[in-house]
Amino acid sequence: MIDPKTISQFQKLETPFYYYDLDLLHKTLSKIKSESEKYGYHVHYAVKANANDKVLETIFSQNLGADCVSGNEIIKARTHGVPGSKIAFAGVGKTDKEITTALQNEIFSFNCESIPEIEVINELAGKMGKIAPIAIRINPNVDPKTHKYITTGLNENKFGVNHWDFEKLSKLIPSFNHIKLTGLHFHIGSQITDISVFQELSQKINTISKWFEDQGFNLQHINVGGGLGIDYENPTSNPLSDFKAYFKAFNDHLKLKPNQELHVELGRSVVGQCGHLITKVLYVKEGLNIKFLITDAGMTELIRPMLYQAEHQISNLTSKLPHQTYDVVGPICESTDVFAKGIDLPGSKRGDLLAIHSAGAYGEVMASNYNLRDIVKSYTNIELTQS
């Protein structure tokens, strides 16, 4: 809930903007640490979810590792004090430049997604006189029961190595002089709220890791990726994901060897609920059987509803009039620039402030200047309190 004092401060600011509640972020991090430390698990924050500097400063002050999917994310993590030894580097299309950056920073692991990628890493590491630690990203063919656009672990997805390549891999890896296989990596999708999915994943991992161990490989770590979802429907009453059940699922179902580490890569569940997109109503337009609230924020500030048909809770922060039904739309010259259709909000007028909640993940980080729009600012509750 955004309190009245904060709303009065919002009214002094140019809209749209992102607002981050760092107090909630601290509570989230505290819960993640307490639940993961029960089992000695290693947590990496997925930088792709939100790379805002104030947000990263808060997260990495808690000594989390980083999960990166680009060379620039590696550099960003390093500038925030994350040692290379706590950085995992994933991505289906790592460039030579990015691989070189990762080697220079002596990262914890390259999460490799294909045999050609492993060959290139071996070649580049050889030129630098280094040994690259790699984990093979496996496609376990587990249905995460989420949106098809954010499913990554099925046979038809572009990610990871499939089971039919295992034999070839097991023969090739010993021939590479500049890589060392240290683990296996899995990531099956995003916005997963059914914990049974992670139980099924654990059982698949048990079978796959045993196969690699039977071939003589010493797997020092298993990386189960991320994917834990948040409650977009009830962000105020349910601001924290079920971290207890998430970590317990792996403890109960994943069979680790003695001294074998388990790593996770959480993103959305860390930052999703601490962020809000604050926007102003520009016009109320009468349509055919509907009223449009036209806002000054659009798909350039939050593309998830347009890209994934995602639903975000929306509040009118400045009206207490009787509710009406609206379509909330943005100003972009695209028919898909719609945040929500047919939702009930307090009677709204030009100048009212709306909050689009649960925008802390894949909001600011996916912003663009399409239509040559400005990249908007962000504020934290700490900054507004001090102002």
CATH of the domain at 313: 2.40.37.10
CATH number at residue 228: 3.20.20.10
User: Last residue of a domain, which of 232, 254, 272?
Assistant: 272
174 and 139 within one domain: yes
pLDDT, position 157: 52
User: Closest Cα to residue 50, out of 269, 367, 365, 378?
Assistant: 365
User: Last residue of a domain, which of 242, 272, 302?
Assistant: 272
Sort 79 into a burial class: Cβ within 10 Å, 0-12 / 13-18 / 19+: exposed
288 and 152 within one domain: no
170 and 42 within one domain: yes
Residues 120-153 have pLDDT tens digits of: 999 999 999 999 999 999 988 765 455 444 344 3
Residues 6+ apart with CB under 8 A from 121: 94, 99, 110, 112, 132, 134, 178, 179
207 and 106 within one domain: yes
CA–CA separation, 348 and 346 (whole Å): 6
13 and 41 within one domain: no
Q: Which two tokens stand for residue 257?
A: 């060897």
CA–CA separation, 143 and 312 (whole Å): 24
User: Last residue of a domain, which of 272, 299, 317?
Assistant: 272
226 and 277 within one domain: no
Q: Are 70 and 93 in contact (CB under 8 A)?
A: no
Cα 25 to Cα 54, 150, 299, 367, distances in angstroms: 11, 24, 25, 21
pLDDT, position 386: 81
Residue 185 CA, distance from chain mean position = 16
Q: Which domain holds residue 373?
A: 4-17+273-386
317 and 250 within one domain: no
38 and 12 within one domain: no
Q: Which two tokens stand for residue 294?
A: 């036209």
241 and 136 within one domain: yes
The residue ranges of the chain whose pLDDT is under 50 are 144, 147-156
11 and 33 within one domain: no
pLDDT, position 57: 98
pLDDT, position 143: 57
Amino acid at 235: P
pLDDT, position 153: 38
pLDDT, position 1: 78
| Single pTM value for the model | 0.94
69 and 31 within one domain: yes
Number of domains comprising the chain: 2
User: Closest Cα to residue 41, out of 227, 255, 223?
Assistant: 223
Residues 6+ apart with CB under 8 A from 344: 323, 324, 325, 326
pLDDT, position 140: 81
151 and 81 within one domain: yes
